[in-house]
Amino acid sequence: MATATTDIPLPGTRRQTSGVLGKASYVWWFFRRYPVFPIFILSVLVIASVIGPYVAPYPRDIGWLGDRHLPPFTTSPHVEEARENGINTGFHLLGTDHIGRDTFTRILHGARISMMVVAVSLGIGFTVGTTLGIVSGYFGGWIDEIITRAVDIWFALPFLLVALIMTLIFGRGLNILMIVLALISWTAFVRILRSQALILREMDYVAASRIAGAGSIRIMLKHILPGLLNTAIVVATLNVGGLILAEATLSFVGAGIQPPTPAWGVMVASGRDYLQDAWWQIVMPGSSIFLVVISLNFLGDWLRDRLDPRLRQVD
């Protein structure tokens, strides 16, 4: 019977490589040691979001109605007919949706939207959360009390509900969605960075710089922030997956991005009406979300083990 023994090579060790089997085992070792697969998926995502809309084979919002619900890997039977009407159609890698739009094209556009939403909301969440975390941990006292209390309250609110109410008040759209997601993301930063700042402010070098006459703002920026930047990056990476899920969920429920803009959540939502005829309409955008979130999780875990192993306890 197997016992708990580790078969993952320790960091820094190198396998003896000889022959085909040795090569294969080295490749396997390399794949387990470095996040090759996540980095590959995420690079594809980033590249797709930058150049995707320019290389996409077909128009985003217009399709030839005769092509509705074409399964993946099919060529449209109506190429000539559609061209006469000024619509470009042909081979559809991931099939088409209920009005004949190319799924692959829409997923490429969706990648850009996801990236944009996540980048902006994470940027806001990162800045606000890190600032509040440092301030809260550094000053302590009633400032700390207020900030942690606010985080606790915010944590008790079901986020989907807040998002629904907010979209109701301020209208649906991209900007509101980004703000809602930023509101979700900041708490994690405060929670974790506050405790780090609490430790760092007791350090001797902080005391030394205070004796040398540095002000609070200077100490926070020059001495505390660099000390917890690693942690902040890890928290950010682990957060992105959650944000993408949240964005997709909100768009699915109808509180996020509105059709015909092809966010992945929107695509799944519209595919829901055609479960019987067109499974690819749900599976394709769904697996895009899945792959990206999983890659981010793996990358986050790896970064955490690399940059800040203490955080392992937190999660």
Partner 1 sequence: MRGVWKGIHMGTFLLRRLFSSLISVFGATIVVFTLIQMHNDPRELFVPDTGYGITQAQWDNLGTKLGFDRPVVVQYLVWIGRAVRGDFGVSLAQQRPVTTIIKGKIGATIQLAVGGWIFAVLLGVPTGVIAAVYRGGIWDYVARGAAIIGIGAPAFVTGLILIIIFSTKLNWLPAGTRGLEFDVRDYILPCVALGWPAAAGLMRLTRSSMLEVLDSEFVKLARAKGVPWRTVVFKHALRNAIIAPLTSMLLLFSGWLNGALVIETVFSWPGIGFEALFTAVNDNDFPLLLGTVFIFILIFLVFAFIADLLYTIVDPRVRLSGFKGTA
What SS3 state is found at 9? Answer: coil
Least gap, CB of 78 to partner 1 (angstroms): 27
Kindly tell me which of 236 and 248 has the beta carbon lying closer to partner 1: 248
Least gap, CB of 263 to partner 1 (angstroms): 12
Q: Which amino acid is at 116?
A: M
Q: Is the Cβ–Cβ distance between 72 and 94 less than 8 Å? A: yes
Q: Which of 15, 272, 306, 310: binder of partner 1 (CB under 8 A)?
A: 272
Q: Can residue 291 be called a binding residue for partner 1 (CB under 8 A)?
A: yes
Q: Can residue 115 be called a binding residue for partner 1 (CB under 8 A)?
A: no
Q: Which of 1, 10, 20, 21: binder of partner 1 (CB under 8 A)?
A: 1
Give the count of alpha carbons within 13 A of 194, CB side only.
24
Q: How many CB atoms lie within 10 A of CB 250?
A: 26
List the interface residues with partner 1, window 116-135 (CB under 8 A): none
Least gap, CB of 2 to partner 1 (angstroms): 5
Q: Which of 161, 199, 203, 217: binder of partner 1 (CB under 8 A)?
A: 161
SS (H, E, C) 260-284: CCCCHHHHHHHHHHHCCCCCHHHHH
Alpha helices in 34-158 (DSSP H): 36-55, 79-84, 103-139, 141-156
Q: Which of 73, 152, 216, 217: binder of partner 1 (CB under 8 A)?
A: 152
Least gap, CB of 227 to partner 1 (angstroms): 20
Task: Mark the segment that binds partner 1 (CB under 8 A) among 2-10, 18-26, 39-47, 214-222.
Answer: 2-10
Q: Which of 26, 139, 159, 302: binder of partner 1 (CB under 8 A)?
A: 159
Contacts of 12 (CB under 8 A, 6+ apart): none
In angstroms, rounded to a whole number, what is the distance separating the alpha carbons of residues 115 and 268?
A: 18
Radius of gyration in angstroms for the set of CA atoms belonging to the chain, rounded to a whole number: 24
Residue 71 Cα distances to 76, 93, 101, 259, angstroms: 10, 9, 12, 22
Question: The tokens of 86 are what?
Answer: 């000024």
Q: Can residue 143 be called a binding residue for partner 1 (CB under 8 A)?
A: no
Q: Can residue 29 be called a binding residue for partner 1 (CB under 8 A)?
A: no
List the interface residues with partner 1, window 251-270 (CB under 8 A): 252-253, 265, 268
Provide φ and ψ at 102, rounded to 5°.
-75, 125
Q: Which helix (H) or strand (E) holds 247?
A: helix 225-253
Q: Can residue 21 be called a binding residue for partner 1 (CB under 8 A)?
A: no
Q: Which of 37, 91, 139, 279: binder of partner 1 (CB under 8 A)?
A: 279
Kindly tell me which of 214 and 314 has the beta carbon lying closer to partner 1: 314
Strands 74-75 and 91-92: antiparallel
List the interface residues with partner 1, window 191-210 (CB under 8 A): 191
Which residue is listed with tokens 């902006």?
A: 120
Least gap, CB of 67 to partner 1 (angstroms): 21
Using a 10 angstrom Cβ sphere, with 0-12 exposed, 13-18 middle and 19 or more buried, the burial of residue 280 is buried
Q: What character string, x for contact with partner 1 (CB under 8 A) and - otherwise, covers 52-71?
A: --------------------
Contacts 24+ apart (CB under 8 A), 73-77: none
Kindly tell me which of 61 and 152 has the beta carbon lying closer to partner 1: 152
Residue ranges binding partner 1 (CB under 8 A): 1-5, 7, 149-150, 152-162, 164-166, 168-169, 191, 241, 245, 248-249, 252-253, 265, 268, 271-272, 275-276, 279, 282-283, 286, 289-291, 293-294, 297, 315
